[in-house]
Protein backbone atom coordinates (compact mmCIF):
# COMPACT_ATOMS: atom_id res chain seq x y z
CA UNK A 1 0.00 0.00 0.00
CA UNK A 2 1.54 3.29 -1.10
CA UNK A 3 1.72 6.10 1.45
CA UNK A 4 -0.39 9.22 1.23
CA UNK A 5 0.89 12.07 -0.89
CA UNK A 6 1.53 15.36 0.90
CA UNK A 7 1.59 18.80 -0.67
CA UNK A 8 2.12 22.48 0.17
CA UNK A 9 -0.97 24.63 -0.39
CA UNK A 10 -0.13 27.90 1.37
CA UNK A 11 2.89 30.08 2.12
CA UNK A 12 3.55 32.93 4.53
CA UNK A 13 6.76 34.73 5.39
CA UNK A 14 8.05 37.60 7.50
CA UNK A 15 11.67 38.03 6.49
CA UNK A 16 14.28 40.79 6.72
CA UNK A 17 13.90 41.42 2.97
CA UNK A 18 10.14 41.05 2.67
CA UNK A 19 7.09 40.73 4.90
CA UNK A 20 4.86 39.16 2.26
CA UNK A 21 5.45 36.23 -0.08
CA UNK A 22 5.34 38.43 -3.18
CA UNK A 23 7.85 40.97 -1.83
CA UNK A 24 10.06 38.19 -0.49
CA UNK A 25 10.12 36.38 -3.84
CA UNK A 26 10.99 39.58 -5.69
CA UNK A 27 13.78 40.30 -3.20
CA UNK A 28 15.43 36.89 -3.48
CA UNK A 29 15.19 36.93 -7.26
CA UNK A 30 16.76 40.40 -7.42
CA UNK A 31 19.34 39.65 -4.70
CA UNK A 32 18.02 42.40 -2.44
CA UNK A 33 19.59 42.12 1.00
CA UNK A 34 17.62 42.51 4.22
CA UNK A 35 20.72 43.07 6.35
CA UNK A 36 21.09 46.53 7.83
CA UNK A 37 22.88 48.57 10.49
CA UNK A 38 21.13 48.51 13.89
CA UNK A 39 21.78 51.62 15.96
CA UNK A 40 20.77 49.87 19.20
CA UNK A 41 23.55 47.32 18.78
CA UNK A 42 26.09 50.12 18.43
CA UNK A 43 24.74 51.81 21.58
CA UNK A 44 25.11 48.53 23.46
CA UNK A 45 28.71 48.16 22.25
CA UNK A 46 28.17 45.01 20.20
CA UNK A 47 31.09 44.05 17.98
CA UNK A 48 28.65 43.11 15.22
CA UNK A 49 26.24 46.01 14.78
CA UNK A 50 24.24 44.65 11.85
CA UNK A 51 21.37 42.18 11.56
CA UNK A 52 18.57 40.90 9.38
CA UNK A 53 15.48 42.54 10.88
CA UNK A 54 11.94 42.52 9.40
CA UNK A 55 10.52 46.02 9.00
CA UNK A 56 6.85 47.05 9.27
CA UNK A 57 4.79 49.74 10.97
CA UNK A 58 3.10 48.98 14.29
CA UNK A 59 -0.26 49.74 12.65
CA UNK A 60 0.33 46.76 10.37
CA UNK A 61 -0.30 44.48 13.35
CA UNK A 62 -3.97 45.53 13.35
CA UNK A 63 -4.40 43.23 10.35
CA UNK A 64 -3.57 40.24 12.55
CA UNK A 65 -4.30 41.00 16.22
CA UNK A 66 -7.38 42.42 17.94
CA UNK A 67 -7.14 45.23 20.48
CA UNK A 68 -7.10 42.84 23.45
CA UNK A 69 -4.27 40.76 21.95
CA UNK A 70 -2.29 43.89 21.18
CA UNK A 71 -2.52 45.13 24.76
CA UNK A 72 1.01 45.01 26.14
CA UNK A 73 2.25 42.98 23.17
CA UNK A 74 6.02 42.85 23.40
CA UNK A 75 7.17 39.67 21.73
CA UNK A 76 8.64 40.05 18.26
CA UNK A 77 8.73 36.31 17.59
CA UNK A 78 5.04 36.03 18.38
CA UNK A 79 4.29 38.88 15.98
CA UNK A 80 6.32 37.35 13.17
CA UNK A 81 4.86 33.88 13.65
CA UNK A 82 1.23 35.01 13.74
CA UNK A 83 1.69 37.19 10.66
CA UNK A 84 3.38 34.45 8.63
CA UNK A 85 0.98 31.77 9.88
CA UNK A 86 -2.22 33.66 9.10
CA UNK A 87 -0.89 34.71 5.70
CA UNK A 88 -0.13 31.07 4.83
CA UNK A 89 -3.56 29.96 6.04
CA UNK A 90 -5.36 32.55 3.95
CA UNK A 91 -3.09 31.84 0.98
CA UNK A 92 -4.29 28.23 1.15
CA UNK A 93 -7.90 29.42 0.84
CA UNK A 94 -8.82 28.37 4.37
CA UNK A 95 -11.31 30.30 6.57
CA UNK A 96 -9.90 33.13 8.70
CA UNK A 97 -12.71 33.20 11.26
CA UNK A 98 -13.17 29.87 13.07
CA UNK A 99 -16.58 28.28 13.42
CA UNK A 100 -17.99 27.17 16.75
CA UNK A 101 -16.74 23.66 16.01
CA UNK A 102 -12.96 23.14 15.96
CA UNK A 103 -11.37 21.95 12.75
CA UNK A 104 -10.61 18.47 14.06
CA UNK A 105 -8.46 17.49 11.06
CA UNK A 106 -6.37 20.70 11.05
CA UNK A 107 -3.44 21.32 13.38
CA UNK A 108 -0.52 23.64 14.09
CA UNK A 109 3.13 22.70 14.54
CA UNK A 110 5.05 25.95 14.93
CA UNK A 111 8.54 25.96 16.38
CA UNK A 112 10.70 28.53 18.11
CA UNK A 113 14.02 28.71 19.91
CA UNK A 114 12.87 31.22 22.50
CA UNK A 115 9.81 33.43 22.67
CA UNK A 116 9.11 36.77 24.30
CA UNK A 117 12.62 37.75 25.39
CA UNK A 118 11.68 41.43 25.65
CA UNK A 119 8.56 40.50 27.61
CA UNK A 120 10.70 38.40 29.94
CA UNK A 121 12.99 41.37 30.49
CA UNK A 122 10.02 43.63 31.25
CA UNK A 123 8.61 41.05 33.67
CA UNK A 124 11.91 40.58 35.49
CA UNK A 125 12.23 44.30 36.13
CA UNK A 126 8.69 44.54 37.45
CA UNK A 127 9.09 41.53 39.71
CA UNK A 128 12.43 42.78 41.07
CA UNK A 129 10.78 46.14 41.80
CA UNK A 130 7.94 44.47 43.69
CA UNK A 131 5.40 45.29 40.94
CA UNK A 132 4.33 41.72 40.20
CA UNK A 133 0.67 42.75 39.97
CA UNK A 134 1.52 45.09 37.12
CA UNK A 135 2.78 42.30 34.89
CA UNK A 136 -0.53 42.01 33.07
CA UNK A 137 -2.60 38.99 32.18
CA UNK A 138 -0.85 38.23 28.88
CA UNK A 139 2.72 37.82 30.16
CA UNK A 140 2.53 34.04 30.31
CA UNK A 141 1.00 33.75 26.83
CA UNK A 142 3.75 35.93 25.35
CA UNK A 143 6.63 34.11 27.03
CA UNK A 144 5.72 30.43 26.96
CA UNK A 145 7.32 28.69 24.00
CA UNK A 146 4.00 27.23 22.84
CA UNK A 147 2.41 30.67 22.88
CA UNK A 148 2.89 30.90 19.12
CA UNK A 149 1.08 27.65 18.30
CA UNK A 150 -1.60 28.41 20.89
CA UNK A 151 -2.24 31.87 19.43
CA UNK A 152 -2.51 30.50 15.90
CA UNK A 153 -4.79 27.64 16.91
CA UNK A 154 -7.20 29.99 18.66
CA UNK A 155 -7.21 32.44 15.77
CA UNK A 156 -7.82 29.74 13.16
CA UNK A 157 -9.87 27.19 15.09
CA UNK A 158 -7.48 24.24 14.66
CA UNK A 159 -8.50 21.22 16.75
CA UNK A 160 -5.86 18.66 15.78
CA UNK A 161 -2.29 18.62 17.11
CA UNK A 162 -1.22 22.04 18.42
CA UNK A 163 2.38 22.10 19.57
CA UNK A 164 5.72 23.90 19.44
CA UNK A 165 8.98 22.13 18.64
CA UNK A 166 12.44 23.46 19.39
CA UNK A 167 15.68 22.13 17.93
CA UNK A 168 17.90 25.17 17.41
CA UNK A 169 18.60 26.01 13.76
CA UNK A 170 16.84 22.89 12.45
CA UNK A 171 13.54 23.82 14.14
CA UNK A 172 11.65 24.99 11.05
CA UNK A 173 12.69 22.11 8.81
CA UNK A 174 11.86 19.67 11.59
CA UNK A 175 8.38 21.22 12.02
CA UNK A 176 7.64 20.64 8.33
CA UNK A 177 8.65 16.99 8.63
CA UNK A 178 6.59 16.57 11.79
CA UNK A 179 3.57 17.88 9.89
CA UNK A 180 4.38 15.61 6.95
CA UNK A 181 4.56 12.55 9.22
CA UNK A 182 1.23 13.33 10.87
CA UNK A 183 -0.53 13.63 7.52
CA UNK A 184 1.12 10.54 6.02
CA UNK A 185 -0.05 8.56 9.05
CA UNK A 186 -3.65 9.81 8.56
CA UNK A 187 -3.62 11.64 11.90
CA UNK A 188 -4.47 14.96 10.23
CA UNK A 189 -5.43 16.38 6.84
CA UNK A 190 -3.99 19.90 7.21
CA UNK A 191 -1.17 21.19 9.40
CA UNK A 192 0.09 24.77 9.55
CA UNK A 193 3.83 24.25 9.99
CA UNK A 194 6.59 26.78 10.47
CA UNK A 195 8.89 28.48 12.93
CA UNK A 196 9.70 31.89 14.31
CA UNK A 197 12.53 33.68 16.08
CA UNK A 198 12.65 36.68 18.39
CA UNK A 199 14.84 39.59 17.38
CA UNK A 200 17.02 42.02 19.27
CA UNK A 201 20.13 42.28 21.43
CA UNK A 202 18.93 39.86 24.11
CA UNK A 203 18.69 37.12 21.47
CA UNK A 204 21.83 38.00 19.54
CA UNK A 205 24.09 38.99 22.45
CA UNK A 206 25.25 35.46 23.23
CA UNK A 207 26.47 34.95 19.68
CA UNK A 208 28.30 38.27 19.74
CA UNK A 209 29.99 37.14 22.96
CA UNK A 210 31.06 33.91 21.21
CA UNK A 211 32.82 36.02 18.54
CA UNK A 212 31.14 34.13 15.72
CA UNK A 213 29.45 37.19 14.15
CA UNK A 214 31.19 39.39 11.53
CA UNK A 215 32.38 42.75 12.86
CA UNK A 216 34.21 44.22 9.86
CA UNK A 217 31.10 45.14 7.88
CA UNK A 218 29.26 47.51 10.20
CA UNK A 219 29.69 50.24 7.55
CA UNK A 220 28.75 47.92 4.67
CA UNK A 221 26.00 45.60 5.99
CA UNK A 222 24.90 44.01 2.71
CA UNK A 223 28.41 42.61 2.15
CA UNK A 224 28.63 40.92 5.55
CA UNK A 225 26.86 37.59 5.02
CA UNK A 226 29.18 35.52 2.83
CA UNK A 227 28.26 31.81 2.74
CA UNK A 228 30.77 29.62 0.87
CA UNK A 229 33.12 32.61 0.48
CA UNK A 230 36.84 32.53 1.20
CA UNK A 231 36.40 35.83 3.07
CA UNK A 232 33.45 34.71 5.22
CA UNK A 233 33.77 36.08 8.74
CA UNK A 234 30.84 34.51 10.60
CA UNK A 235 27.07 34.56 10.37
CA UNK A 236 24.94 37.68 10.49
CA UNK A 237 22.11 37.32 13.05
CA UNK A 238 18.58 37.55 11.68
CA UNK A 239 14.98 36.98 12.67
CA UNK A 240 11.52 36.47 11.23
CA UNK A 241 9.15 33.59 10.53
CA UNK A 242 8.12 31.25 7.76
CA UNK A 243 4.92 29.20 7.47
CA UNK A 244 3.64 26.50 5.13
CA UNK A 245 0.23 24.89 4.97
CA UNK A 246 0.99 21.17 4.64
CA UNK A 247 -1.95 19.11 3.39
CA UNK A 248 -2.84 15.67 2.10
CA UNK A 249 -3.20 15.61 -1.66
CA UNK A 250 -6.70 14.16 -1.25
CA UNK A 251 -7.78 17.11 0.91
CA UNK A 252 -6.16 19.66 -1.39
CA UNK A 253 -7.84 18.22 -4.47
CA UNK A 254 -11.21 18.02 -2.73
CA UNK A 255 -10.91 21.73 -1.84
CA UNK A 256 -9.58 22.55 -5.33
CA UNK A 257 -6.69 24.26 -3.59
CA UNK A 258 -3.67 25.73 -5.35
CA UNK A 259 -0.73 23.37 -4.92
CA UNK A 260 2.74 24.90 -4.66
CA UNK A 261 4.86 21.75 -4.39
CA UNK A 262 4.91 18.18 -3.11
CA UNK A 263 6.85 16.92 -0.10
CA UNK A 264 8.40 13.57 -0.97
CA UNK A 265 9.86 12.85 2.47
CA UNK A 266 12.84 13.56 4.65
CA UNK A 267 14.77 12.61 7.74
CA UNK A 268 15.71 13.99 11.17
CA UNK A 269 18.57 12.73 13.31
CA UNK A 270 21.28 13.70 15.81
CA UNK A 271 25.01 13.07 15.85
CA UNK A 272 24.94 12.67 19.65
CA UNK A 273 27.99 14.95 19.84
CA UNK A 274 30.22 11.96 19.06
CA UNK A 275 32.96 11.35 16.46
CA UNK A 276 33.92 15.01 16.15
CA UNK A 277 30.45 16.34 16.81
CA UNK A 278 29.86 18.78 19.66
CA UNK A 279 27.27 21.24 20.89
CA UNK A 280 28.24 23.59 18.04
CA UNK A 281 29.95 21.34 15.46
CA UNK A 282 28.40 18.54 13.40
CA UNK A 283 29.13 14.85 13.52
CA UNK A 284 29.78 14.50 9.79
CA UNK A 285 28.68 10.89 9.72
CA UNK A 286 25.30 11.93 11.13
CA UNK A 287 24.90 14.73 8.59
CA UNK A 288 25.65 12.41 5.70
CA UNK A 289 23.35 9.76 7.14
CA UNK A 290 20.53 12.32 7.47
CA UNK A 291 20.84 13.32 3.80
CA UNK A 292 21.06 9.71 2.61
CA UNK A 293 18.03 8.70 4.68
CA UNK A 294 16.05 11.67 3.36
CA UNK A 295 16.79 10.65 -0.24
CA UNK A 296 15.92 7.03 0.55
CA UNK A 297 12.67 7.99 2.30
CA UNK A 298 11.68 10.24 -0.62
CA UNK A 299 12.10 7.22 -2.91
CA UNK A 300 14.33 9.10 -5.33
CA UNK A 301 17.91 8.73 -6.51
CA UNK A 302 20.61 11.18 -5.50
CA UNK A 303 21.01 12.08 -9.19
CA UNK A 304 17.38 13.30 -9.25
CA UNK A 305 18.21 16.32 -7.07
CA UNK A 306 18.48 19.46 -9.20
CA UNK A 307 19.37 21.92 -6.45
CA UNK A 308 20.20 22.19 -2.76
CA UNK A 309 19.13 24.97 -0.43
CA UNK A 310 21.86 24.47 2.14
CA UNK A 311 22.29 25.47 5.77
CA UNK A 312 25.59 27.25 4.94
CA UNK A 313 25.99 29.95 7.58
CA UNK A 314 29.17 31.73 6.37
CA UNK A 315 31.47 30.11 8.92
CA UNK A 316 34.46 27.78 8.65
CA UNK A 317 32.01 24.87 8.55
CA UNK A 318 30.72 25.73 5.05
CA UNK A 319 33.37 23.63 3.26
CA UNK A 320 32.62 20.78 5.66
CA UNK A 321 28.93 20.96 4.76
CA UNK A 322 29.68 20.89 1.04
CA UNK A 323 31.90 17.84 1.53
CA UNK A 324 29.11 16.13 3.45
CA UNK A 325 26.70 16.76 0.57
CA UNK A 326 29.26 15.38 -1.89
CA UNK A 327 29.78 12.25 0.16
CA UNK A 328 26.09 11.68 0.88
CA UNK A 329 24.96 12.16 -2.72
CA UNK A 330 28.03 10.69 -4.40
CA UNK A 331 28.21 13.75 -6.64
CA UNK A 332 31.10 16.18 -7.19
CA UNK A 333 32.47 18.81 -9.58
CA UNK A 334 30.12 19.47 -12.53
CA UNK A 335 27.86 16.59 -11.49
CA UNK A 336 27.00 18.38 -8.24
CA UNK A 337 23.54 20.04 -8.06
CA UNK A 338 23.17 23.81 -7.97
CA UNK A 339 23.48 25.03 -4.39
CA UNK A 340 22.49 28.29 -2.72
CA UNK A 341 22.16 29.81 0.72
CA UNK A 342 19.43 32.28 1.62
CA UNK A 343 21.59 33.47 4.50
CA UNK A 344 23.53 35.59 2.03
CA UNK A 345 20.31 37.61 1.62
CA UNK A 346 18.84 37.72 5.15
CA UNK A 347 21.45 36.44 7.59
CA UNK A 348 20.90 33.49 9.88
CA UNK A 349 17.34 33.68 11.23
CA UNK A 350 18.10 31.02 13.85
CA UNK A 351 15.01 28.93 14.72
CA UNK A 352 13.13 30.60 11.86
CA UNK A 353 15.79 29.84 9.26
CA UNK A 354 14.52 26.42 8.17
CA UNK A 355 10.97 27.59 7.56
CA UNK A 356 11.89 30.85 5.80
CA UNK A 357 14.37 28.97 3.62
CA UNK A 358 11.74 26.30 2.88
CA UNK A 359 9.38 29.01 1.65
CA UNK A 360 12.18 30.15 -0.68
CA UNK A 361 12.71 26.55 -1.80
CA UNK A 362 9.04 26.05 -2.65
CA UNK A 363 8.91 29.34 -4.56
CA UNK A 364 11.87 28.24 -6.67
CA UNK A 365 10.04 25.06 -7.64
CA UNK A 366 6.73 26.76 -8.36
CA UNK A 367 8.08 29.69 -10.34
CA UNK A 368 11.08 28.10 -12.03
CA UNK A 369 14.23 29.80 -10.75
CA UNK A 370 17.28 29.27 -8.55
CA UNK A 371 18.17 32.42 -6.62
CA UNK A 372 21.76 33.60 -6.71
CA UNK A 373 24.29 33.63 -3.89
CA UNK A 374 25.36 37.06 -2.71
CA UNK A 375 28.95 37.87 -1.75
CA UNK A 376 30.37 34.62 -3.07
CA UNK A 377 32.58 35.89 -5.90
CA UNK A 378 35.58 34.47 -4.01
CA UNK A 379 34.41 30.88 -3.60
CA UNK A 380 36.28 29.14 -0.79
CA UNK A 381 39.16 27.12 -2.30
CA UNK A 382 38.20 24.01 -0.32
CA UNK A 383 34.72 24.22 -1.88
CA UNK A 384 36.10 24.92 -5.34
CA UNK A 385 38.16 21.75 -5.02
CA UNK A 386 34.95 19.76 -4.51
CA UNK A 387 32.43 21.33 -6.91
CA UNK A 388 32.52 23.52 -10.00
CA UNK A 389 31.97 27.19 -9.27
CA UNK A 390 29.19 27.15 -11.88
CA UNK A 391 27.16 25.10 -9.41
CA UNK A 392 27.22 28.10 -7.03
CA UNK A 393 25.29 30.68 -9.08
CA UNK A 394 26.04 34.33 -8.37
CA UNK A 395 22.96 35.51 -10.24
CA UNK A 396 19.44 34.14 -10.31
CA UNK A 397 19.02 31.36 -12.86
CA UNK A 398 15.66 31.09 -14.57
CA UNK A 399 15.40 27.36 -15.06
CA UNK A 400 12.97 24.63 -14.01
CA UNK A 401 14.21 22.63 -11.03
CA UNK A 402 12.12 19.53 -10.37
CA UNK A 403 13.48 18.38 -7.01
CA UNK A 404 15.22 20.48 -4.35
CA UNK A 405 16.70 19.26 -1.07
CA UNK A 406 16.51 21.61 1.93
CA UNK A 407 18.60 20.88 5.00
CA UNK A 408 19.22 22.51 8.37
CA UNK A 409 21.88 21.65 10.94
CA UNK A 410 21.65 23.06 14.46
CA UNK A 411 23.34 23.50 17.82
CA UNK A 412 23.21 20.23 19.72
CA UNK A 413 24.40 18.31 16.64
CA UNK A 414 20.85 17.99 15.27
CA UNK A 415 20.02 17.58 11.58
CA UNK A 416 16.95 17.75 9.35
CA UNK A 417 16.58 17.31 5.60
CA UNK A 418 13.37 17.55 3.55
CA UNK A 419 12.89 16.79 -0.14
CA UNK A 420 10.52 19.02 -2.13
CA UNK A 421 9.27 18.28 -5.65
CA UNK A 422 7.60 20.43 -8.28
CA UNK A 423 3.91 19.56 -8.54
What pLDDT is recorded for position 128? Answer: 59
Q: pLDDT (tens digit, 9 = 90+) per residue, 19-56?
A: 999 999 999 999 999 999 999 999 999 999 999 999 99
* Per-residue confidence (pLDDT) for residue 123, from 0 to 100: 66
Cα–Cα distance measured from residue 205 to residue 179, given in angstroms and rounded to the nearest whole number: 32
Judge whether residue 136 has pLDDT over 70: no
Could you check whether 7-261 and 265-422 share the same CATH topology? yes
Q: What is the pLDDT of residues 311-321, one digit of tens each?
A: 999 999 999 99
For 30, the 3-state DSSP assignment is helix
Give Cβ neighbours of residue 313 (< 8 Å, ≥ 6 apart): 227, 235, 341, 343, 348
Q: Where are the domains of the chain?
A: 7-261, 265-422
What distance in Å separates the CA atoms of residue 310 and residue 357, rounded to the nearest whole number? Answer: 9
Q: How many helices (H) and strands (E) does the chain have?
A: 15, 12
SS3 244: strand
Whether the CB-CB separation of 171 and 351 falls below 8 Å is answered with yes
pLDDT range class, residue 141, cuts 50, 70, 90: confident
In degrees to the nearest 10, what's the CA dihedral of 174, 169, 420, 189?
30
Q: Residue 120 pLDDT > 70, yes or no?
A: no
Cα angle at 267 between 261 and 270, to 5 degrees? 145
More confident of the two residues 73 and 81: 81
* Residues 258 and 369 sit within 8 Å (Cβ to Cβ): no
Q: What is the per-residue pLDDT across 365-391, written as a single tens digit (0 to 9) for each?
A: 999 999 999 999 999 999 999 999 999
- Are 242 and 8 in contact by the 8 Å Cβ rule? The answer is no
Q: Is the pLDDT of residue 126 over 70?
A: no
The confidence score (pLDDT) of residue 207 equals: 95
Within 10 angstroms of residue 275's Cβ, the number of other Cβ atoms is 12
Which conformational region is residue 313 in: left (phi greater than 0), alpha (psi within -120 to 50 degrees), or beta?
Answer: alpha
Which residue, 10, 7, 366, is CA-closest to 183?
7
Inter-helix orientation angle 147-156/76-91, to 10°: 40
Which residues, at least 6 apart from 303, have a Cβ–Cβ distance to it below 8 Å? 331
> Distance between CA atoms of 168 and 402, rounded to whole angstroms?
29
pLDDT one-digit tens code per residue, 314-352: 999 999 999 999 999 999 999 999 999 999 999 999 999
Q: What is the DSSP string of 270-294?
A: E-TT-TT--SSS--HHHHHHHHHHH
- Cα 262 to Cα 3: distance, rounded to the nearest angstrom: 13
pLDDT confidence bin for 135, thresholds 50/70/90: low
Q: Are 30 and 369 in contact (CB under 8 A)?
A: no
**Is the pLDDT at 395 greater than 70, yes or no?**
yes
pLDDT band at 200 (very low <50, low <70, confident <90, very high): very high
φ and ψ at residue 243, rounded to 5 degrees: -145, 140
Cα gap 312→375, rounded to integer Å: 13
Average pLDDT of the residues in 14-22: 98
- What is the torsion angle, in degrees rounded to the nearest 10, for the CA atoms of residue 106, residue 181, residue 178 and residue 10? -50
The pairs formed by 390-396 with CB atoms below 8 angstroms and a separation of 24 or more are: 390/334, 391/334, 391/336, 391/337, 391/338, 391/339, 392/228, 392/338, 392/339, 392/340, 393/338, 393/340, 395/31, 396/28, 396/29, 396/30, 396/31, 396/369, 396/370, 396/371, 396/372
pLDDT at 62 over 60: yes
* Of the options 3.40.47.10, 3.40.140.10, 3.30.70.2190, 3.10.129.10, the CATH number for the domain spanning 7-261: 3.40.47.10
Would you put residue 399 in left (φ > 0), alpha (ψ -120 to 50) or beta?
beta
Mean pLDDT of 229-239: 97
Give residue 124's pLDDT.
Answer: 64
pLDDT per residue over 204-229, tens digit each? Answer: 999 999 999 999 999 999 999 999 99
CATH architecture of 265-422: 3-Layer(aba) Sandwich (3.40)
Give the percent of the chain with pLDDT over 70: 96
Higher pLDDT among residues 100 and 355, named by residue: 355
pTM score over 0.75: yes
What is the percent of the chain with per-residue pLDDT over 90, rounded to a whole number? 89
Average pLDDT over residues 1-26: 95
**pLDDT class for 98, splitting at 50, 70, 90?**
confident
Quickly state the pLDDT bin for 117 (edges 50, 70, 90): confident
Q: What is the mean pLDDT of residues 302-307?
A: 98
Confidence of residue 68 (pLDDT cuts 50, 70, 90): confident
Nearest to 159, CA basis, from 185, 182, 191, 112 = 191
d(CA 365, CA 80): 24
Whether residue 127 is predicted with pLDDT greater than 80 in this model: the reply is: no
Amino acid sequence: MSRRRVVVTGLGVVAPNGTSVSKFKEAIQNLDSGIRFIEELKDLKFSCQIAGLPLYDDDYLNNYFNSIQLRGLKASGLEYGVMAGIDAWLDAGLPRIPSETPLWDAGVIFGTGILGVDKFREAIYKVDQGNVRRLGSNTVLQTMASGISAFLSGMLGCGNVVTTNSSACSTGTEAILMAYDRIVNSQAEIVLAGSTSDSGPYVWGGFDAMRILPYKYNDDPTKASRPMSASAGGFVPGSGAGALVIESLDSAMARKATIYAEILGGHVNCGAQQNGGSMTAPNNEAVQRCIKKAVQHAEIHADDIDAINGHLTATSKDPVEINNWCEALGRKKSDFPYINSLKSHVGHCLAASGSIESVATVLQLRDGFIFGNMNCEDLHPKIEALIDNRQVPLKTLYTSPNIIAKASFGFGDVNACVIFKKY
